[in-house]
Structures are given as C-alpha cells and as structure tokens.
Chains A and B, each alone.
Chain A
Amino acid sequence: MGMTEKQLKSSNKPDKEMPLVQYENVTKKFGDVEVLKGLDLEIKQGEKVALIGPSGSGKTTIIRMLMTLEKPSGGVISLNGEPLWHKKIGDKLVPADEKHLRKLRSDIGMVFQHFNLFPHMTILRNVTEAPIHVLGLSKEEANERAVDMLNKVGLGDKLDAYPEQLSGGQKQRVAIARAVVMHPKVMLFDEVTSALDPELVGEVLQVIRDLAKETDMAMILVTHEMDFARDIADRVVFLHNGQIEEEGHPEDIFETPESERLQGFLSRFLNT
C-alpha cells in the first residue's frame, strides 16, 4: 500500500521521464580484474533500489562510483541527465574537474559500512559540520536541523557525546542523520549493518525504513539483509560477476527467481 502512495508522488513529478541516476555501459577495472562489465541501470526519482549479490559481484563499486569515490573505467554515469564524471563541452565529453564534481555531489549522500564518523567532534558537530561549511547554513539553522534529525533517529540525548562513547548501532544512526541533513536526492547505503553486532542491526534498519516512508529521496541499498530488501525496495537488482543477472519487483525476485544463480544465492541465504 506504501507503493501506491509512492507511485502517485512520482507521477506528479514534471520530469518523470528522466531517470535521476543512469548508468550507461559502465565498466570498472581494478588492475586486471574487471569488477563491472558494461552496467546499464536506471534509478527514478524517489525510487528505492536494493542491490544484492555475492561478494565481489560489484555492488559496492556501483554506489562508490556514484559517490565519486571510485572513477569508472568506461561508460557514463549521469545524474539528472548530466554526466557525473564528465563535462559536456559542445558535443564532447571531457573528464570532470573538482568544481563539476562538487556541484553534482550535492545531490548525493552516503552511509558507510564502518560509519566513518569524525572522532574528534561531538555527535552534534558531526551532523552540523557539513551543513555549516558546505551548505553555508548559520550555526542556529544547522543546529536546529541536526537536533531535529538526531531526535528522529532516537539520539537526541547524545548531542554532546563523542563517537567512541556510542554503540555501533548508535554510530550508524548518527551517520544516517549526518547524511540526511544535507538533503540529497539520492542516498547510498553501503552494507550499513554488516559491521554491527546482530542485536544492533534492527534499530538501524528501522531508522532506514522510517526514512524511506517519510521522504521522497531515492535510495540505493547494498545489503545482505534479504527481509529488509524485500520490505523496503521498489526494485531488487541481483548482480553476479559484474553484471546484472536478474532484476524486478521484490516479490518476483524472492518468490519466483528465474536464473539458477539467483536461486542458488537465495537458497544459500535462507539456509544460513
């Protein structure tokens, strides 16, 4: 039922034709190893897409290239129809400079597997630092936005604590708040529960679930949590060996997987 709401919302968008994110024949090599082999993928405004697959299938590389942490070896990634790693000069694509990257990056946010909080800053400053220095918000505005968001993730009482004083689950919730206050159009989640103790996974997933319901941010989630992927995603993409093996609605992917590889992958997951 959440689906229909979302569909209504996105159909109101004037530029619903243009995908928010588009990968066209994107390849990535690390040395001699080709981790992505000609990826074509589109993400619509507000769409929630889960990337699943065995380790080494290239799913993390896909979002790291969008965050500009990894440069593609070939192909074009576009955001709002504008090439991310390239600048258009006339009809030619030339490598993007820092200014271009910063402009496009403002629409992208990311949450990391290992949180990567800033250990020398309080929780509040972790969340206000970028809004103040990057968005140019006043200290008061940034504080208000940060406190509001930290309350939402249940950490309103930890404003003056330092990251080392928090549990893994709490750290990850701060990291989510830190990314959300930048108001990105697409949010990337890189195995955000993989480094957590099992009993802390639930609280982080719940925060992301709430976020998915409340905002019209697009989300790309690399995850090994199959129930979560099924729950939250509008579309699930199964990767194998640097290529999309199968994609579709979560029900179809999990109930009636077509490819043998996906069947094998899922059965291994259900057994563990």
Chain B
Amino acid sequence: MEAYINILPRLLPGAVITVQVLLASAALAFVVAFVAGLGRVSKYSIVRKITAVYVELFRGTSLLVQLFWIYFALPAFGIQFSPFLAGVVALGLNYGAYASEVVRGAILAVPSGQTEASIALNMSNWQRMRLIILPQAFRIMLPGFGNISIELLKGTSLVSLITLTDLTYKGLIIQNTNLSYTMPVFVMLLVVYFIIALPLIILAKKLEKNASRGVAKA
C-alpha cells in the first residue's frame, strides 16, 4: 500500500502534461473537425476531394507512425516541432479526421426539409448552414465528440515515445528504476487515466441524453 501512495505524487507532473496535451490536441481536433467536416459537404467537388484524401490518409494510417513522421521525419524538410507541439499536431490531425466524420454525419442527419425551408426563405448557403443546419447538427455531434475525446485521452500515451514526460512516461521511469514497483505503477497508471477520463465519460452520457432535443425529425 505504501508503494501505491509513494508513486502517486511522482506520477502527478506526468498527469499534468497528459491533461495539457489532451486539452491542446482536443482544441486542435475540434477546429480541424469543423473545417474538414464542412469541406466534406462542400458544393465544390475539389474541396470535397481534398478533405476526403486528408481524412482517409489520417484514419487509414497508424497514429504512432504519424507521430514519428511529424517528430522525426519532418525535420528533414526543415520543419522542427518541440515534442509537445509534435504530439499535439499529430493527435489533433488524427482525431480531427475522425471527428470530421462526426461533423459530416451530423450535418447530413439534419432532415432535408430544413434545407428546403431555408431555401424557400431565400437564405444564402452560409446563412442556411450557420442559422439552421449547424445549430441542429451541433446537438447531434456532441455525443460523438464526447466519445472521441475519451479516445483522444487514451491516444495521448503515445507521446511518451517522442520523449514527452507524460503520465505513461513517468510511470515507465518509476518502473525502470525500481522493478518491485512494476505492479503498483501499472495499477496506478490505470487509476489515474480513468480519473482523468471520468468527467469526459459523464459528459458524453449527458450529451447523449440531450442530443435529440431541438432537432427536426425526418
């Protein structure tokens, strides 16, 4: 028991880094999701194609390889990121690609009658999206965003492989320096990750309940 209590304060700085990576990459993923999600439903086929290539590329390849690319390979092209920034960019682009599918699906889930009514009221394309479609689609998206943010938290552990001292990295250091701590370290890692995830899980459940309010039925 003592071992468990000893470990906790030594894990905390790593937990802080993990939460920072989580928040920063979630913010990036959110922006990317909307840009790419709107791109996927654009009326210009060239925009649809470019965003489709991006989404499939980032969904279809390994996040770990993307991370290595951004951290180890891009410097060869003169682009150098700090470990933190490389982690945030890789996670943001990867999970943003997944989340853009949530955005796209939600936009398409708003019944076509809403689009037709806004055309009949002579709204512009952008007004229709901003005033009518997105406010309804947003409610449909939220549970999906909640789930992806939980996935994203779990994905942050990979940044330990590009020398960022996050929660996982801290745990591995403790375990390496004192092998008798192996069991307590890995138990405490699970516990701390779960504690960070808990608010996200509760939020996602709540959003799921409210998702259908204020959305037109097909």
Q: Check if B56 is an interface residue, CB within 8 A of chain A.
A: no
User: Could you tell me if B114 and A134 are in contact, using CB atoms closer than 8 angstroms?
Assistant: no
User: Could you tell me if A116 and B122 are in contact, using CB atoms closer than 8 angstroms?
Assistant: no
User: Which residue in chain B gives the minimum CB-CB distance to A108?
Assistant: B120
Q: What residues on A are CB-neighbors of B123 within 8 Å?
A: 130, 133-134
User: Could you tell me if A118 and B119 are in contact, using CB atoms closer than 8 angstroms?
Assistant: no
Contact of A110 among B120, B124, B127, B216 (CB under 8 A): B120
Contacting chain B: which of A18-26, A41-49, A98-106, A204-212?
A98-106
Contact of B120 among A98, A118, A129, A179 (CB under 8 A): A179
Q: What residues on A are CB-neighbors of B135 within 8 Å?
A: 120
User: Could you tell me if A119 and B122 are in contact, using CB atoms closer than 8 angstroms?
Assistant: no
Given contact pairs A102-B122, A182-B122, A116 touches B215 in the complex (Cβ within 8 A):
no
User: Which residue in chain A gives the minimum CB-CB distance to B130?
Assistant: A133
User: Could you tell me if A68 and B119 are in contact, using CB atoms closer than 8 angstroms?
Assistant: yes
Chain B interface, number of residues (Cβ within 8 angstroms): 20
User: Could you tell me if B127 and A120 are in contact, using CB atoms closer than 8 angstroms?
Assistant: no
Given contact pairs A119-B136, A134-B127, A105 touches B114 in the complex (Cβ within 8 A):
no
Q: What residues on A are CB-neighbors of B122 within 8 Å?
A: 102, 105-106, 130, 134, 182
Q: What residues on B are CB-neighbors of A162 within 8 Å?
A: 214
Q: What residues on A are CB-neighbors of B114 within 8 Å?
A: 116, 118
Interface readout for A90-121 with B: 1 if CB under 8 Å, 0 if not? Answer: 00000000100010011011101010111110
Q: How far apart sit A102 and B113, CA to CA, in the bound complex (Å)? A: 18
Interface centre among A67, A114, A178 (most CB of B within 10 A): A114
Number of A-B residue pairs, CB cutoff 8 Å, is 62
Q: What residues on B are CB-neighbors of A134 within 8 Å?
A: 121-124, 127
Within residues 111 to 162 of chain B, which ones have a CB less than 8 A from any CB in chain A? 113-114, 116-117, 119-125, 127, 131-132, 135-136, 139
Q: How far apart sit A105 and B121, CA to CA, in the bound complex (Å)? A: 8
Q: Check if A69 is an interface residue, CB within 8 A of chain B.
A: yes
Q: What residues on B are CB-neighbors of A133 within 8 Å?
A: 123, 127, 131
User: Which residue in chain B gives the minimum CB-CB distance to A118?
Assistant: B132
Interface centre among B119, B121, B136 (most CB of A within 10 A): B121
User: Could you tell me if B124 and A118 are in contact, using CB atoms closer than 8 angstroms?
Assistant: no
User: Which residue in chain A gives the minimum CB-CB distance to B136?
Assistant: A120
Q: How far apart sit A67 and B120, CA to CA, in the bound complex (Å)? A: 6
User: Could you tell me if A116 and B113 are in contact, using CB atoms closer than 8 angstroms?
Assistant: yes
User: Which residue in chain B gives the minimum CB-CB distance to A131?
Assistant: B121
Nearest-neighbour CB distance to chain B for A227, whole angstroms, equals 27
> What is the size category of the interface that chain A forms with chain B?
20 to 34
Contact of B119 among A67, A120, A178, A182 (CB under 8 A): A67
Q: What residues on A are CB-neighbors of B117 within 8 Å?
A: 112, 116-118
Q: How far apart sit A210 and B198, CA to CA, in the bound complex (Å)? A: 59
Within residues 133 to 190 of chain A, which ones have a CB less than 8 A from any CB in chain B? 133-134, 162, 178-179, 182
Contact of A112 among B113, B127, B215 (CB under 8 A): B113
User: Could you tell me if B214 and A69 are in contact, using CB atoms closer than 8 angstroms?
Assistant: no
Q: What residues on B are CB-neighbors of A178 within 8 Å?
A: 121
Given contact pairs A129-B131, A133-B127, A133-B131, A119 touches B121 in the complex (Cβ within 8 A):
no
Nearest-neighbour CB distance to chain A for B212, whole angstroms, equals 10
Q: How far apart sit A129 and B123, CA to CA, in the bound complex (Å)? A: 10
Given contact pairs A119-B216, A162-B214, A130 touches B121 in the complex (Cβ within 8 A):
yes
User: Which residue in chain A gives the minimum CB-CB distance to B216?
Assistant: A119
Q: What residues on B are CB-neighbors of A114 within 8 Å?
A: 113
User: Which residue in chain B gives the minimum CB-CB distance to A188?
Assistant: B120
Q: How far apart sit A129 and B130, CA to CA, in the bound complex (Å)? A: 12
Besides the contacts A112-B120, A134-B122, A182-B122, what 13 more A-B pairs have beta carbons closer than 8 Å?
A69-B116, A98-B124, A98-B125, A105-B122, A106-B122, A108-B120, A109-B120, A110-B120, A117-B216, A118-B114, A119-B215, A130-B121, A178-B121
14 contacts between A and B (CB under 8 A): A105-B119, A109-B121, A112-B113, A116-B114, A116-B117, A119-B215, A120-B136, A120-B214, A120-B215, A130-B122, A133-B123, A134-B121, A134-B122, A162-B214
Q: Could you list which residues of chain A lie within 8 angstroms of chain B, going by C-beta atoms? A: 67-69, 98, 102, 105-106, 108-110, 112, 114, 116-120, 129-130, 133-134, 162, 178-179, 182
